[in-house]
Amino acid sequence: MLSSVVVMNATTTRGALLAALACVLVGGSFTANSLLGDYPYAGGQFLRYGLAFLLLVPLAGPGARTRLRGLGAGRWLRLALLAAVGMVGFNLAVLAAERTAEPAVPGVFVGCAPVVVAVLVPLLDGRRPQRVVLYGALFVAVGAFTVQGWGRTDGAGIAFSVCALVGEVGFAVLAVPVLRPLGPRLLSTVVCGVAAVESALAGVLADGGGWLRRPDAIEAGALLWQAAVVTVVGFVCWYMGMQRIGAERATLFSGLIPVAAACTAPLVGTGTYGVAQAVGSALVCAGVAVGSGAASLGFARRRRVPGARQRTSERPLEKL
């Protein structure tokens, strides 16, 4: 019994750290996004995901071809939707929303993703939502709103912000049935390859011959950062974390995205970190701690009686 608790605690901790790292990297990538404002959208997505695919192929793991051949048409369709909705579509929706709305508006909608996932994933799995996860998700959503505030917008800005929320939810929910057979590394590899193809098709249809151009030095650096760090490291860490703690708890950490963005904005002079950001960050951290189970694990450790801890320490380590 004790050994299963120890393993569960270790797995939960690792999953939480991996999900947190992934979301912090995504939040910090907003700085890189600000350097790509003049680069064609579809071309940038093609270069980002295409380079990430090439970097991920050697990391896909043994038996990758066998696992891919075992996927049916339904799962391949799900992978295509995951790339289209959760990657290409999400980024397009954010950029489209920011044409008529301040960046905080899509950020607030995306901050509601933990609440939607906390309800949707259990229902799709035929079970009731967990109250503790739902409460934590509500804290995260309020914290994300506090960090970003609310900005100027119109109907189009709200509509595209809702699309961004759908993309963020889809990035987690659509991955659930294919994460087990593929694993985090192969799943990240496949969706990056599919997203690169979809970006190229969208670019040709929307922009014709001008969909892709040679980036300058600053744009190349930003694209390289997004591909190698945010996509390769971030995606693998995200799906490894989701594999360990589930989609509901992993999505709680998406509240760290606006927190990381707020912390890095002063570094390039695009924002400030004040009282509202500090209060919102505290609310996000509290929601993550409650919903992910980190708070309950810490409380359980503090409630262990000294005698029980002493008896546990006397057992050989290999038997725990």
Of 188, 190, 155, the C-alpha closest to 70 is 190
Q: Does the structure show a pLDDT above 50 at 287?
A: yes
Q: What is the pLDDT of residue 190?
A: 96
Q: CA-CA distance, 306 to 53, in Å (whole number)? A: 51
Tokens matching residue 30: 């907003």
> For residues 163 and 99, is the Cβ–Cβ distance under 8 A?
no
Tokens matching residue 81: 């939707």
Query: The whole model's pTM is what?
Result: 0.80
Q: CA-CA distance, 106 to 74, in Å (whole number)? A: 31
Q: Does the structure show a pLDDT above 90 at 185?
A: yes
Q: Minimum mean pLDDT among 20-29, 67-76, 239-248: which range?
A: 20-29
DSSP character at residue 85 = I
The whole-chain average pLDDT of the chain stands at 82
Q: Minimum mean pLDDT among 18-27, 97-106, 218-227, 240-249: which range?
A: 97-106
Q: Where are the alpha helices (DSSP H) in the chain?
A: 2-33, 41-56, 64-69, 73-83, 90-100, 104-110, 113-124, 131-148, 155-173, 176-207, 217-225, 234-252, 256-264, 275-292, 294-302, 306-313
pLDDT tens-place string over residues 47-100:
999 999 999 999 988 889 899 988 889 999 999 999 999 999 988 888 788 778
Residues 311-316, mean pLDDT to the nearest whole number: 36
Q: Which domain holds residue 85?
A: 2-319
At 103, is the secondary structure helix, strand, or coil?
coil
Q: Does the structure show a pLDDT above 60 at 319?
A: no
pLDDT tens-place string over residues 114-162:
899 999 989 988 889 888 998 899 988 888 888 777 677 888 888 998 9
Instruction: State how many domains the chain has.
Output: 1
